[in-house]
Amino acid sequence: MVLLQTTSLLRARCPSALLSVRRLATEAAQLRRTGLYDFHVENGAKMVPFAGYSMPLSYADAGQIASHNHVRSKAGLFDVGHMVQSNFRGKTATEFLEWVTPSSLSSLTPYSSTLSVILNEKGGIIDDTVITKHAADAFYVVTNAGRREKDLAWFKEKLEEWNSGEKGKEGPVEMEVLENWGLLALQGTLMSVVIASAFVPIEGFNLHVARGGYTGEDGFEISIPPSQTVEVAKLLSKAPVQLTGLGARDSLRLEAGMCLYGNDLDEDTTPVEAGLSWVIGKDRKENGTFIGAEGVRKHLKEGPPRRRVGLTVEGAPARQHAKIFDPNTSDILGSVTSGIPSPTLGKNIAMGYVKNGWHKKGTQVEVEVRNKRQKAVLTPMPFVKTNYWRG
């Protein structure tokens, strides 16, 4: 009998790691593989280096745009098994995670989830994460593959500090990394039909199913024991579901206004600058009992020096690092962090940061593409209406 532990996301992930292949490329001999590597190859995947893993960019003859549109109209299945899945347990687990993140986890109901951020001492974002509460003393946490070493080292350091202090005496906290577990993201308009009709004829293992995702569509993220990952992937990849790679995942997340760590988030960016103030619990803003609180509360009180914005760009698409200008004075206002031609909208969209005060929707700016200034307008995100399940 398969147990489906269903959770609801307050908002879908901003999380995490997608398509910056050249920047994160690793020598093939050093690349890690998810439990679905052979499954991808058998299905004609074009494998590329990403975040230290060999991951599918696309499959067979299905191009990025066709795959993108299939998710928007039907359903797609993504391998996200490169991401880091962990369990935190202990009498003071809630307090520990409320120390390393600014979220109000004590108010979460069992088997509900929230997007959050792990902060450094300055209030900069070490990583974005989704935290699912199982019980008062047990949490399931997903972090980005590209931040694996940094995150695990940070957690190790902070756990040692916590457990050796007064709180640790009340009840130590332990962390278990779910090495080699599979993680599949089923996303799209028809995904609920697929899940409703799925039957897993295997006994003796549990699936952890969390409702949410990274595409703007309704979806589930399904955590699977290593021995069953391929079987579940085969079960869920039948029509109308189409296997989907990193290329479409990147365009889908940007249309949904979702951040990519390393492009749109980094350790020098606070959640206030990133437009993620909503992940900070109201009580946390007041008591400031989390790492990095001083920097975050300063930005909340005085306003951040810059803000994340969406842009619609004329002409050629604007890519990462493209400069954003004041069209009247030619002063540099900021830069683009992610940009694509939107398959759904048929126009160029981008995300970036501009000086505070220049972030109002409808503001006219210019973006430099190939040494040429192009007109752009600040546009509210998400660019495409989202279809998340609201629990």
Residue 204, token pair as written in the block: 């003796």
Compute the CA torsion angle 263, 98, 148, 43 (nearest 10 deg): -80
User: CA-CA distance, 325 to 334, in Å (whole number)?
Assistant: 7
Q: How far, in Å, CA of 116 to CA of 13, rounded?
A: 9
The CA distances from residue 113 to 59, 98, 103, in Å, are 31, 14, 11
Amino acid letter, 151: D
SS3 category, 87:
strand
121 is in an annotated binding site: no
Residues 6+ apart with CB under 8 A from 193: none
What gap in Å lies between CA 378 and CA 385, rounded to an integer? 17
* C-alpha 6 chain-centroid distance: 19
| Amino acid (one-letter) located at 347 | K
* Rounded CA separation 314/323 (Å): 14
Distance of CA 103 to the CA centre of its chain: 16
Rounded Cα distance between 226 and 169, Å, is: 35
Q: Which of 207, 86, 212 is nearest to 139 (CA)?
A: 86
- Helices in 256-314 by DSSP H: which ranges? 282-287, 293-302
Q: Is 346 left (phi over 0), alpha (psi -120 to 50) or beta?
A: left
Answer yes or no: are the C-beta atoms of 31 and 49 closer than 8 Å.
yes
Whether omega for the bond prior to residue 343 falls within 30 degrees of 0, making it cis, is no
Peptide bond into 327 cis (omega under 30): no
Binding-site residues for substrate sit at 221
Binding-site residues sit at 221
